[in-house]
Chains A and B, each alone.
Chain A
Amino acid sequence: MIEIARREIRIKRGSKRVGLIALISLILSVLLFYKLVTNGIAIDKGIYSTNVPVDYRPFKISENPDIIIYRNAVYVRGDLKGYSAFDEFRSYLKMEYNRWIYEKFGERAFPVLVKLIKVPTKPVKVEIGSERVVKPTSVTKPVEREGKEVVRTVKENVNVTVGKPLEKVVEVKRSEYITPDALKPPILFEKFFYAFIFVMPLYFIAQTFSSSFMEDKVRGRFEVLLTVLSNRDLILGKMTPYLILGFFVSFAISILFHSIVMVCLLLSILLLMLSLDAFVVFLSRSYKEMSFISIVVTLLITAYLFIPAVFSFVPMSGLSPVTVLINIMEGEKVGIYLPLSIIHVSLISLTLLYLTSNSFEFMHHRGLTDKLIQLTSKLTDRYYKVFVFTIASIPFVLLFEIFALAVLYPIRSYVFPVLMSLAIVEEFFKGLFVYSSRDRLNPYISAFLSAFAFFLGEKLILIPLIPLRLTVLFVLPLLAHVTATTVFVLTMRWGFKLGVLTSSTFHAIYNGVMLWLLSL
């Protein structure tokens, strides 16, 4: 393994030309990035139009303007562009107005300055030596105000834990006083941008790895190396230099943010990228194919990692290492989500690495489905493995289903094609393990195990949410899964694809009927 790693470093160190280009690229990128941060992105210049000059980059004069400014009013064209132009013009005016009144009236122009203090509203454990509980306490009394306006009041029994004043016990994050205009919800765009900048070097490391791995495959080096090395040693040896390089990059970033745990997060992301790229190389028949699949997979994984960070207030979004990374950059506590995000991403990576290390002998087989059948056939020689691999495939099924839903979003009103596509994704994975083990295992037992595993993995998350007496509702989906895989077994003798098609048709019809019944 160490020899392979050394060889990889020797090959990559060879070219001075690449080193020089990398250095120039780095210097240029840093300079341009600095300009970008200080001046902002310039591509929005002149996207809106007005009838009079406005000294603001997005606006320009046009004969057919989005907004017409006339005396003290603004006339807006009634489309999204017109409304957006007005919205930004209004923000610009506010900015200018604030500057003007500050010059004229000084601090008096801003009679309200706000300081936001964030307090956790989930129950907090207060551990203080001499605490005592005062109860019940009347919080307020109704207050009658001038003009017979009654201010709403709360009269509640509240248990107050005394020992230290509560406001000193709860963890507070204080910010400076700001004007009301500057109050903003916690939008993560800026943090999101910086996170992307920090993750970007990892993409390039992964890309270099995949090119090198593919080159080995295309030139038939694997066959030679595997005569003296085990599959595992070969793949780990190839990955080691890239992981070391990734470690240095991650370490530099973590020093910048004074957080050593960032190394673990960034390395888990890199491991995911490397294992995905290794699997992509296995799937691809040519360099060209690898490039295309790699782009698709990279974008999918970017969406998988980054979209949760946009909606970081959703608790499950903490499963993405990027969300945790952003929270660390913000100085927030990440708690259980730090190990959870690293473990879940590492598990996906290890599954992919396991699959790839078992795939060398099928590397040159033609056809994606054939390759997958050969690979799963090697792995599913016991009933329990059919069960385990079906459960392990669920995250991938969900990923493909999201992709399918996104592709079909424009035709979402046509329910059956959408249901059919989702059913094909599920039945493909369920059927794969049944079909590939058919020569060694009883297909009907495999079908039941595959259906049960899928049902279990899929519904496990719902069990805590549904009362015990209603668990009978699960019988129907289980029956549907079992019937669909049985349909697959009955029809797979005419080929894997036909089996998937028939079982998917049954699955889609079942889902359609259920949807129809629910809508009644």
Chain B
Amino acid sequence: MASLVIAKKDLKSLFREKTVVLTLLLLVALSSLSQIVATGLVFLYNPSFEFKARIGLVGNAPIFERVANPMRFENLSSALNGLRKGYVDAVVVLNENPKGVNYVEVYVPKEEVKSIRVIPYLKRVFEEYQTVLRELNGIPVLNVRSYDTEGRPISVPEGISLKFRFIYVVLIPTVVVLCGIIVGIYTIDVLYEELKTSEVLLTSVGVKDVVIGKIVAVFTVSLMLTLVWILGFVANGVNVSIASVFPSLTFCILSSSIAMMVFGFSESREQAHLIYSLLFIPLILSFLTFTPSPLSLSVRLSLGILDDCLTFAIAFGVVDLIMLTTSCLIVKGRITKSL
């Protein structure tokens, strides 16, 4: 009961300062901003984005002309002038050799805003041209046909996976890491705050109650942050499975356990913050490099892929439990030592 009172006190002070509200708003803002960025990326970089570039041609290339329907120029100088004046969006220099390799020089605007629109179109044109030449040379051509589940032919835009990857493989792990950092730093702060008053506090409650109280407070904050980022994504129209609560919480508890261990071995709060940050960098890099990790689990569970995740989830839960128990003992020792 005493531990619950301590947890309540910590959470009350957190809400009194209103800064946690700012953090929660940040998580919502992050999910919205990222949605805007993701939409912008798809709109700008998608090769299927409808834009018909005007191509200028210098040289003799009858097959290419049939494929691309270009404007012809007599020489490169006048073609480049045409490019500069905006009559064409790209200049192709090509003297066609239908039976051999064609080395094509393509002049595109240096300004990225123009080339972003032109290059995807050129890619489509040259792929088509390549297919025609391959057929002419008797090289088998790849043709991937796509159908919906009813068997009707469908056209899937090229590059659509960019948005999907950005949301599920970049953004969601980033938010999980962010929650972990927030919880870790919060843990160090509440423990050091308690250290100042521990002498008085421990006259009425035991060290164990203090530690459990802190864990309850940290767990509540973790749960709150996790639910808010999931709701933020859902409000922005992203499908996030409720199962992603688990890896987010697992990561927060792991981060908090590391923070508690750091508290146990550090001399001051600023040193603890520094050590925690230094440990966090290789930890995150290892989670990105090796799989399964809490981050790979967060990607898969946010997509609702549950099949083989249960084993890993149990394994990470056990690791968390061991880390938490060890860190509790370390914290207990540190508080007792400080008396």
Hey, which bits of chain A sit against chain B, CB under 8 A? Answer: 15, 17-18, 21-22, 25, 28-29, 32-33, 35-36, 39, 41-47, 49, 62, 72-78, 80-81, 83-88, 90, 93-94, 97, 101, 105, 107-123, 137, 139-141, 143, 145-146, 149, 151-154, 156, 158, 160, 165-167, 170-171, 173, 177, 179-181, 183-187, 200, 204, 207-208, 211-212, 214-215, 284-289, 291-293, 295-296, 299-300, 303, 307, 310-314, 403, 406-407, 409-411
- Which of A75, A94, A105 has a CB less than 8 Å from the CB of B149? A75
Can you give 12 contacting A-B residue pairs, CB < 8 Å?
A18-B278, A43-B299, A74-B144, A74-B147, A80-B164, A90-B144, A110-B130, A140-B72, A149-B66, A183-B119, A292-B19, A299-B178
Contacts known (A93-B144, A119-B83, A139-B78); A288 close to B115, Cβ less than 8 A: no
Chain A residues within 8 Å of B12, by CB: none
Q: Return the chain A residue nearest B307 by Cβ.
A: A62
Chain B residues within 8 Å of A145, by CB: 62, 65
Q: Return the chain A residue nearest B192 by Cβ.
A: A287
User: Interface centre among A153, A156, A293, A295, by most B CB within 10 Å?
Assistant: A295
CB-defined interface of B26-45 with A at 8 Å, one 1/0 digit per residue?
Answer: 10111011011100110011
Chain A residues within 8 Å of B37, by CB: 307, 310
CB-defined interface of B148-170 with A at 8 Å, one 1/0 digit per residue?
Answer: 11010010111111011100110
Contacts known (A36-B289, A111-B102, A204-B277); A93 close to B142, Cβ less than 8 A: yes
Chain B residues within 8 Å of A81, by CB: 164, 303
Are the C-beta atoms of A101 and B140 separated by less than 8 Å?
yes
Are the C-beta atoms of B282 and A28 separated by less than 8 Å?
yes
In the complex, B76 has a CB within 8 A of chain A = yes
In the complex, B204 has a CB within 8 A of chain A = no
Cα A39 to Cα B291 in complex, Å, equals: 12
Chain B residues within 8 Å of A184, by CB: 119, 123
- Count of interface residues, chain B, beta-carbon cutoff 8 Å: 137
In the complex, B285 has a CB within 8 A of chain A = yes
Contacts known (A112-B133, A167-B76, A186-B116); A123 close to B84, Cβ less than 8 A: yes
Contacts known (A21-B278, A47-B303); A289 close to B19, Cβ less than 8 A: yes
Contacts known (A288-B14, A410-B235); A112 close to B106, Cβ less than 8 A: no
In the complex, B112 has a CB within 8 A of chain A = yes
Cα A204 to Cα B280 in complex, Å, equals: 11
Chain A residues within 8 Å of B239, by CB: 80
User: Interface centre among A97, A207, A287, by most B CB within 10 Å?
Assistant: A287
Are the C-beta atoms of B45 and A187 separated by less than 8 Å?
yes
Shortest CB-to-CB span from B191 to chain A, Å, is 11
Contacts known (A93-B142, A140-B73, A287-B193); A121 close to B84, Cβ less than 8 A: yes
Q: Return the chain B residue nearest A213 by Cβ.
A: B270
Are the C-beta atoms of B77 and A156 separated by less than 8 Å?
no
Shortest CB-to-CB span from B331 to chain A, Å, is 17
Q: Return the chain B residue nearest A38 by Cβ.
A: B289
- Which of A45, A76, A123 has a CB less than 8 Å from the CB of B154? A76
Cα A88 to Cα B169 in complex, Å, equals: 14
Contacts known (A87-B156, A119-B107); A183 close to B115, Cβ less than 8 A: no
Contacts known (A183-B122, A291-B185); A111 close to B145, Cβ less than 8 A: no
In the complex, B336 has a CB within 8 A of chain A = no
Q: Return the chain B residue nearest A23 by Cβ.
A: B278
Cα A418 to Cα B151 in complex, Å, equals: 45
Shortest CB-to-CB span from B320 to chain A, Å, is 19
